[in-house]
Amino acid sequence: MTHTEGESNRSAARARWQAGQDHDPSRDLLARDADAFLHQSLSSPCVLTIARAEGIWIEDLAGRRYMDFHGNSVHHIGYRHPRLVAALKAQLDDLTFSPRRFANEVAVELAERLGQMAPGDLGKVLFTTGGSDANEVALKIARAATGRFKTLSFWDAFHGAGFGAASVGGEATFRSHIAGPLLPGAEHVAPFHCYRCPYGHAGPENCGLACANMVDYVLGREGDVAAVIAEPMRAVPVVPPPGFWAAVRAACDRHGALLIFDEIPTGLGKTGRDFAFQHDGVIPDIVTLGKALGGAMLPIAAVVARRDLDICGDFAIGHYTHEKNPLTARAALTTLDILREEGLADRAAELGRRAMDRLQTALAGCAHVGDIRGRGLMFGVEIVTDRESRSPDPARAEAIYYRCLEAGVSFKISAGSVLTLSPPLVIEVADLDRALAIVESAILEG
């Protein structure tokens, strides 16, 4: 497919989709949304309306239903889980707010539960209202613990939209528009990406851990880095090469830097383990959680740190109004109960293997499919111009996206041309197979 043909394909797909939106209430709401909200990439203006969300399903104002394979990574237990609805209704009749300096049972129980879940000596907790704030709290702890201010992170990573989080993040969308300096000392290296390696390696088996060696080199060369902050599995998605995190952990220990893992999209069972870093046999000094922690109902995030990093008692590192909110804590505590009692991490591992095997078989001969990768129920299909050059093909990817949307499957496109599929952990096998059939058909259509 030439560039011109690709753009034509993309335009035709978008035109078909927009034609299908000829529904007055939907059109009116989308126009009101565009008029009321500040416009920004990946958000407003919107392309869809939403009237209801339940289980794996989103329904728009026109009554069209979509299996949600995106969900901003919040919907591990699905939308409107009946047990969570009941728990929040009961909490509304009990305690709905707690000032920071008052201890309340549900917030303490949640902090204890997270400390019990986390491996090693990760046992001291602080809650925030969002993942960006959680990452910034982690960075403050690292500065206090090391007496250093520099950080090392990866280009193309996302760690939040605040100034500190955007500084250590590496996505241009969250950095390029900001006039003036970002957080000082925020150093970056190339991310691990065995499938299009900037060092020219042919794949993870030939990687030689060049990316991990670069982390070690920069830590040694700088000499005063407080922390390495990273996604243990990139949510685009990209799985790290074997031994990568063990090498980075050793480098951090050697050079006196803390290791912070941002598990905000990948934690809580999504990859088939409670924490994505458990696949790699390492334990960070601090881990941050969020998104799905609120059960797709309420916003809450958490910082879980080593116990000996509880050194900031003389100054405020979070100080959030809703730091110990019993309602959001109840949402998180109930979500953790559901994840454990329904065995959803194991289920994600099993269904993820099924999905990956099916996609690799169905798309084995497709010339414009590059890599199929992921862990658990976070997996992706890379759309390329051809398998030899492995060049991204955003136009074709967008055309495929709109065909899938028309057929009732919603997902996101990452890194320009990776169809990123992240269904709820409660999805039924029949629905997973139906969604994959839609995606396969749209890809093979070309």
Taking only the tens place, the pLDDT of each residue in 268-294 is: 999 999 999 999 999 999 999 999 999
Number of domains forming the structure of the chain: 2
Question: 412-439: per-residue pLDDT in tens?
Answer: 999 889 999 999 999 999 999 999 999 9
We report the CATH number of the domain holding residue 352 as: 3.90.1150.10
Give the integer Cα–Cα distance in Å for 333 and 163.
30
**CATH code assigned at 231:** 3.40.640.10
pLDDT tens digits, one per residue of 165-216: 989 998 887 777 777 788 899 999 988 875 556 555 555 555 657 889 999 9
Verify that 355 and 223 share a domain, yes or no: no
H or E element, residue 351: helix 344-362
Q: Which amino acid is at 217?
A: Y
pLDDT tens digits along 115-166: 999 999 999 999 999 999 999 999 999 999 999 999 999 999 999 988 899 8
- Give the list of residues 6+ apart from residue 221 with CB closer than 8 angstroms, or none: none
Q: Same domain for 205 and 299?
A: yes
**For residue 242, how far is the Cα from the chain centroid?**
21
- Give the integer Cα–Cα distance in Å for 290 and 268: 9
Q: Across residues 373-387, what is the average pLDDT?
A: 95
Q: Which of 323, 341, 359 is the last residue of a domain?
A: 341
Contact 290, 301 (CB under 8 A): yes
406 and 311 together in one domain: no
Looking at the fold, whether 184 and 72 belong to one and the same domain comes out as no
Range of the domain at 375: 3-77+344-445
CA angle 155, 156, 161 (to 5 degrees): 105
Task: Calculate what percentage of the chain has a pLDDT beyond 90.
Answer: 77
Amino acid at 395: A
The arithmetic mean of pLDDT across residues 225-246, rounded, is 94
Q: Are residues 324 and 229 in the same domain?
A: yes
288 and 315 housed in the same domain: yes
Give the number of other CB atoms < 10 A from CB of residue 175: 13
The dihedral region occupied by 71, where left means phi > 0, alpha psi between -120 and 50, and beta the remainder, is left
Same domain for 55 and 97, yes or no, is no
Cα separation values, 255 from 157, 226, 246, 249, 258, Å? 23, 9, 14, 10, 9
* Residues 33, 43: Cα–Cα separation, whole Å: 10
Distance of CA 41 to the CA centre of its chain: 17
Shared domain for 58 and 130, answered yes or no, is no
| Shared-domain flag, residues 280 and 174 | yes
Indicate the residue among 318, 341, 364 that finishes a domain: 341
* Domain termination site, one of 341, 367, 392: 341
200 and 213 part of one domain:
yes
38, 175: one domain: no
Based on C-alpha coordinates, what's the Rg of the chain?
Answer: 22
pTM score: 0.93
Instruction: Say whether pLDDT at 301 is over 80.
Output: yes
242 in the same domain as 119: yes
